[in-house]
Structure 1
Amino acid sequence: MSYQLRPALRRIATLKQLLRLSLISLAFSLPAQASDQVLMDTVQQFLYQETQALGQEVMIDISPPSPHLPACVAPEPFFPNARQSPLGRVSVGVRCGEASRQVRYMQAQIDIIGNYVVAGQDIDRGTLITREMLSQREGNLGDLTAQAITQQDDIIGMVAQRNIRGGNTFQAHDLKAPQVVKRGQRVTVIAQGTGFRVSREGEALADGAQGERIRVRFDTRELVTARVVGQGTLVIDF
């Protein structure tokens, strides 16, 4: 029985392959205008999915593909830079063709109307920022600089590195994490790994903010580098 089925199975596999090749050929034979529209619609949907949670209203303007390029079969959009913020002028990569062997790039302008945080008052350099110092504003997030911080949770608890005028947005270089360890301070260093955890006291040789790595000197004059995890506490992971 299995022997009799093998020719039939081979014919089915051959028909599937021919159908796949026919669909690809059909895509290439589409009028350039129709193929470009499929590409534009696919990129539009991709950008909308990436940005719909960022604000109340999303406006996307995509530059049409070059008429000198071949049709893009089965387009798969992606951001060339995974850390790219989907705001303002952005570049979108698109994989095309069988096995996504071809890659092209398109440009788009993304404008998002939403809320962002500004200083609710003048803030002096060195001030620890609290919720009461912040205010909300609505506008086009695409008009903000790439360094602008729009969420209050990323601002509260930070320290101003320069004077900030009321009504201004917060830039990444405006803020720094507060120092939770001071140079010369007696600190606890916890060494931990699988199945063990020990602690020793030492002296911090530099100021340190949460997450920073600084050097610590023990009473034995031994020097280690440890990660700041809290007020007067550092960790060495093994």
Structure 2
Amino acid sequence: MMCFTNAQANDDNLVQQVHQFLYQETQTLGEEVVIDLSPPSPHLPDCINPEPFLPNANQAPLGRVSVGVRCGDGNRQVRYLQAQVDVIGNYVVAARDIERGTLITSEMLNERGGNLGELSAQALTSEEDIIGKIAQRPIRSGNAFLSHYLQAPHLIERGQRVTVIAQGPAFRVSREGEALENGALGERVRVRFGSREIMTARVTNEGVLVVDF
């Protein structure tokens, strides 16, 4: 009886830790959060000192999600729990039909309320992630914006003469080169100097890249 009680207590603690983790990850996304967490398998050993994490840290945990949990000394054991996460809040949709190649502005957006958990995992819910991007395909009025529908505008064009700034704690020098590929803000692109030397640099402005040392 004692073994059953300890096992039940460990499972309850695991579920509580994962539930709290998901709530912390989603509470800023909307007005109401509903989390339905599937119980851990009774056939698995106890999870000591559980540390939840998201396998895809770049994606908001909405809809049907998998949550990883590191267990035991040194977090050497890893298991996964399934959850349904529904968040009632606002998200952004197209206010009109948007053609491919259009630069997105605030006038093209509308706000709509609903269950964010029913959106595609690729849906962008914040205006900050949409305005200033370029539509890579037509977007119809009332549709949500998906991340692969949009692209940041190129500040560097392939074949363009660019300025590359090399900087460190005590120096800053610049030289001119030729971009070997297109690049948006923050992206890393290859630049050629002369006939042989090639360096990768980070796009910081129109026609300007930086290499940090």
TM-score by length of 1: 0.74
**Counterpart AA for 2:36:** D
The amino acid of 1:50's aligned partner reads E
| Offset of residue 127 of structure 1 | 0.9
Q: Which residue of 2 aligns with 1:135?
A: 110
- Pair 1:78-2:52 in alignment: yes
Q: 2:198 aligned with 1:224, yes or no?
A: yes
State whether residues 124 and 160 of structure 1, in contact with CA within 8 Å, keep that contact through their aligned partners in structure 2. yes
Partner of 1:172: 147
Indicate whether 1:181 and 2:152 are aligned: no
Match of 1:49 among 2, 24, 29: 24
Cα drift, residue 125 of structure 1: 0.9
Q: Which amino acid aligns with 2:55?
A: N
User: Structure 2 residue aligned with 1:147, among 88, 106, 122?
Assistant: 122
User: 186, 201, 205: which one pairs with 1:211?
Assistant: 186
Name the amino acid aligned to 2:86. Answer: D
Query: In 1, Cα distance between the equivalents of 2:161 and 2:73?
Result: 63
In 2: Cα distance, 1:184 partner to 1:102 partner: 50
Give the drift of 1:111.
Answer: 0.6
- Compared CA separation, residues 233 and 98, structure 1 to 2 (3 A): closer
Distance of aligned partners of 1:105 and 1:201 in 2 relative to their CA distance in 1, 3 Å threshold:
closer
Structure 1 unpaired stretches of 5+:
1-24
Contact kept in structure 2, 1:42 and 1:75, CA below 8 Å: no
Provide the aligned C-alpha RMSD in A. Answer: 3.0
Secondary structure at the residue paired with 2:30? coil
Structure 1 stretch displaced more, 109-118 or 189-198: 189-198
Q: Does 1:194 align with 2:169?
A: yes
Contact map agreement 2:156 2:182 (CA 8 A) in 1: yes
Q: 1:62 to 1:233 in 2, by over 3 A?
A: same
Count of matched residue pairs: 211
Paired residue type of 2:97? D
Question: 1: distance between equivalents of 2:73 and 2:211?
Answer: 49
Among all aligned residue pairs of Structure 1 and Structure 2, give the percentage whose two residues are the same amino acid: 63
TM-score, with normalisation over the residues of structure 2?
0.81
Task: Give secondary structure in 2 for the equivalent of 1:30.
Answer: helix
**How far apart in 1 are the matches of 2:29 and 2:167?**
40
Letter paired with 1:138: G
> Given the superposition, is the C-alpha separation of residues 163 and 31 from structure 1 closer, same or farther in structure 2, using an over 3 Å criterion?
same
Offset from partner CA, 1:116-174 (integer Å, 9 cap, x none): 11111111111111111111111111111111111110111111111111111111111
Q: Secondary structure at the match of 1:86?
A: coil
Q: Distance in 2 between matches of 1:65 and 1:215?
A: 48
In structure 2, runs of 5+ residues without a counterpart are: none
* Greater Rg over alpha carbons, structure: 1
Give 1 or 2: higher helix fraction.
1
Structure number having the greater strand percentage? 2
* 2:55 and 2:67 in contact (8 A); partners too: no
